[in-house]
Structure 1
Amino acid sequence: MTDAATARSPHLPAQSSPAVLRARNLSKHYGDARVLDGLDLDIDRGQFVAVMGPSGSGKSTFLHCLSGMTRPSGGSVLLRDTDLTALDERALAALRLEHFGLVFQQPHFMSTLCLLDNVLLPGFLSRRRPREEVTARGRMLLERMGIADLADADVTEVSGGQLQRAGICRALINEAAVLFADEPTGALNSATAARILDVFGEIHVRGTTIVMVTHDAKVALRADRVLVLVDGGVEEDLLLGHYREDQSAERLVRVSAALNRQSV
Structure 2
Amino acid sequence: MKKILLSAVDVCKSFKIGKNHVDVLNNVSVDFYEGDFTIIMGASGAGKSTLLYALSGMDKISKGKVIYKEKEISSLSEKQIANLRSHDFGFVFQQTHLVSNLTLFENVAVAGYLGKERSTKETCTRTEELFKQMNVGNEKDRIPSEVSGGEAQRATVARAIINEPGIVFADEPTGALNKNNTQEVLNILSELNKSGQSIIMVTHDLRAALRGNRLLYLEDGKIVDEKEMPSYEQSDGKDREVQLNNWLASMKW
TM-score by length of 1: 0.88
The answer as to whether partners of 1:105 and 1:183 remain within 8 angstroms in 2 is yes
The unaligned stretches of length 5 or more in structure 2 are none
Residues of 2 paired with 1:228 and 1:127: CA distance? 35
1:185 maps to which of 174, 183, 201: 174
Pairing 1:7-26 to 2, within 5 Å after superposition: 18-26=3-11
Residues of 2 paired with 1:193 and 1:241: CA distance? 21
The answer as to whether partners of 1:120 and 1:134 remain within 8 angstroms in 2 is yes
The answer as to whether partners of 1:53 and 1:259 remain within 8 angstroms in 2 is no
Determine the structure 2 residue equivalent to 1:6. Answer: none
CA apart distance, 1:245: 2.1
Determine the structure 1 residue equivalent to 2:212. Answer: 223
Residues of 1 paired with 2:151 and 2:235: CA distance? 30
Give the fraction of aligned pairs with identical amino acids, expressed as a percent.
37
Is structure 2 residue 163 aligned with structure 1 residue 174? yes
Pairing 1:22-171 to 2, within 5 Å after superposition: 22-31=7-16, 32-171=21-160
The answer as to whether partners of 1:18 and 1:44 remain within 8 angstroms in 2 is yes
RMSD: 1.9
Offset from partner CA, 1:28-74 (integer Å, 9 cap, x none): 11122211110000011111101111111111111111111111111
The answer as to whether partners of 1:171 and 1:179 remain within 8 angstroms in 2 is yes
**CA separation of 1:17/1:252 partners in 2, compared to 1, >3 Å: closer, same or farther?**
closer
| Secondary structure of 2:215 counterpart | strand
TM-score by length of 2: 0.91
Offset from partner CA, 1:194-222 (integer Å, 9 cap, x none): 22222222221222110011111221111
Residues of 2 paired with 1:105 and 1:191: CA distance? 16
The answer as to whether partners of 2:37 and 2:199 remain within 8 angstroms in 1 is yes
Offset from partner CA, 1:92-112 (integer Å, 9 cap, x none): 111111111111122222234
- 4+ long deviations beyond 4 Å: none
**CA separation of 1:90/1:20 partners in 2, compared to 1, >3 Å: closer, same or farther?**
same
One-letter identity of the residue aligned with 1:27:
C
| Secondary structure of 1:86 counterpart | coil
The unaligned stretches of length 5 or more in structure 1 are 1-15
| Secondary structure of 1:236 counterpart | strand
